[in-house]
Structure 1
């Protein structure tokens, strides 16, 4: 793994990467590992902002169930460091543009040229405006029952703001929790701590103590690159991709929960799914590169 300083910036303007990966979560890290194993020159840009940044323990990931997401990223970086063709830079990409001959990613005012871009920037979540809810997001307040449901086994939980999916979410949690309360978030004044987990203060003056609460947030693209490139979107707001992460713009791939292939009902908020998507996009990048090499005169 190579680092960068100011003395390298001028040199980097002339470097052509096989791929630039934007996003240092599981999807981006897996893409980097796959490209490294195939000796492709890749740069991973990590802004340090993660959708699961407030989550103390990641779950439902084979061999890593319960591990701190930050530790997962540290271990992944250590593995990637063994592959000399992959660089990781802690930096924020400002812009991605397509020219006639290449894709250009601008970082710290420096344009970097690449034949492929893998977007792994994820989504950002907007929660209902209930005081106290955001401070507990990722711990006692969660979205995914597969990732956080078991931790409330045998306890009382609440479902807030799930809309048309409230009944389904409650039914999914019934075998896990001792009781599932479906509560209209508009009737919740604030959320505080209780000995058993959370205390919901309701507008009617009553309270409900629960071990945890599940909320369906409103999600949006964390980064501006889908708009900058004019990528086709699904109704979900996620970027439309094929099974290999290819978008509507040639050479641009989208992976993780920011992407939504046609064969799925929505973007998948899952570490395992993100890792799989990152690998498939990297495979597609390598195959596209191989096609160009095969067609070139030897």
Structure 2
């Protein structure tokens, strides 16, 4: 879709620059649903799609009602086709660089240098996964290496899997996957397990490797795990190590209130600590939760709730 610049930018009836009711930054499940909800209520909306998605390497989504097994790209394509039916929703295939407060709302500077304004902004840029610096792991991410048992555990039913990472987080994965897979081997990725940690993991039914993983690679039967002394093949690996980071800098730019999890703090309607700024998806959660619930459905639900929050604000302003 062509981006409007300079004199081509929409103008309101008074002759000034056009101000959208909302700009939604990010076009994953949260952003797509937010735009749909706003469009259905005839609120002028700009949806910015940078083309970066957390599940961009994933072949099939799972645990998504009516879309179990659907490729994420197909999901996004269908959503965008449906959004095209709403004249109040504009989509631009470009990312945003900055969000700043202006009179009556916020200004968003786009990657091509264009500037657009809105009364409200919904941040839905999501997060990126920072994986352990293990050779081969990034290449397997989303295809044979995973983090979410709800999304990818069932596909390994009755097979052997490996868990990479520290004992405390491995314990949680064992508890979820133990009844699904045939057996689990836990591998350290940076340092070995203490005797107490190994005993705890074994008591949960897992085998514990005393050797650190040095590389992973695809194999006809799944994943080939290389340690200091040899190789082992498993159906897939679940990563208990690593961390998440915000894909975009807007939380820092705007000075939003953050939670100990590193996520943006929001209320029940997706409102952040800054009036007019909403957040939805993996980058935000309420203080009552220990962290973001990484799920396509929950991200979409959060996008809908944030859009409802925007509409409520527009009705009272």
TM over 0.5: yes
TM-score (normalised: structure 2) = 0.88
**Which residue is 1:270 aligned to?**
295
Q: Is the 8 A contact 1:231 1:239 kept in 2?
A: yes
Give distance in 1, aligned partners of 2:124 and 2:56.
15
> What is the SS of the residue equivalent to 1:263?
coil
Q: Which runs of 5 or more structure 2 residues have no equivalent in the other structure?
A: 191-211
**Partners in 2 of 1:208 and 1:222 — Cα distance?**
34
CA RMSD of aligned residues (A): 1.5
| Pairs within 5 Å for 1:249-268 | 249-268=274-293
Which moves more between the two structures, 223-232 or 108-117?
A: 108-117
- 2:271 aligns with 246
CA contact (8 A) 2:48 2:94 kept: yes
Question: In the aligned structure 1, how far is the partner of 2:27 from the partner of 2:146?
Answer: 22
Aligned-pair distance for 1:9? 4.3
Alpha-carbon distance change, 9 to 220 in structure 1, aligned in 2, over 3 angstroms: farther
1:185 is paired with a residue whose SS is: coil
Deviation at residue 102 of structure 1 after TM alignment: 1.6
Paired position in structure 2 for 1:201: 226
Q: Offset at 1:99? A: 2.5
Unpaired runs of at least 5, structure 1: 293-298
Distance 2:252 2:98 in 1: 10
Change (3 A) 1:188 1:247: same
Separation in structure 2 between the aligned mates of residue 208 and residue 236 of structure 1, nearest angstrom: 34
Q: CA deviation at 1:8?
A: 5.9
Query: Which residue of the partner structure matches residue 287 of structure 1?
Result: 312
155-164 or 25-34: which moved more?
Answer: 155-164
Aligned runs of 1:16-27 on 2, under 5 Å? 16-27=19-30
Single out whichever of 274-283 and 189-198 deviates more from structure 2.
189-198
Q: How far is 1:206 from its partner?
A: 2.2
Q: How many residues align?
A: 290
1:181 aligns with 2:206: no
Moved more, 262-271 or 99-108: 99-108
User: Are residues 84 and 8 of structure 1, via their aligned partners in 2, closer, same or farther at CA, if it must alter by over 3 Å?
Assistant: farther
**What are the superposed Cα offsets for residues 111-150 of structure 1, whole Å, 9 maximum, x if unpaired?**
2111100000000111111101110000100010000111
Q: Trace 1:103-122 onto structure 2 (pairs within 5 A).
A: 103-107=106-110, 108-122=112-126
Mean CA deviation greater in 109-118 or 281-290: 109-118
* Closer, same or farther: CA 277–49 of 1 in aligned 2, 3 Å: same
By how many angstroms is 1:82 displaced? 1.0
Higher mean C-alpha deviation, range 96-105 or range 76-85: 96-105
Partner of 1:296: none
Q: Is the 8 A contact 2:5 2:114 kept in 1?
A: no
How far, CA to CA, are the matches of 1:67 and 1:201 in structure 2? Answer: 32
Separation (CA, whole Å) in 2 of partners of 1:8 and 1:88? 19
Q: In structure 2, how many angstroms separate the alpha carbons of the residues matched to 1:185 and 1:177?
A: 22
Are the aligned partners of 1:197 and 1:210 in contact in 2 as well (CA < 8 Å)?
A: yes
2:3 aligns to what?
Answer: 4
Correspondent of 1:63 among 56, 62, 66:
66
CA 1:288–1:240 in 2, change beyond 3 Å: closer, same or farther?
Answer: same
The whole-number CA distance in structure 1 between the counterparts of 2:247 and 2:313 is 28
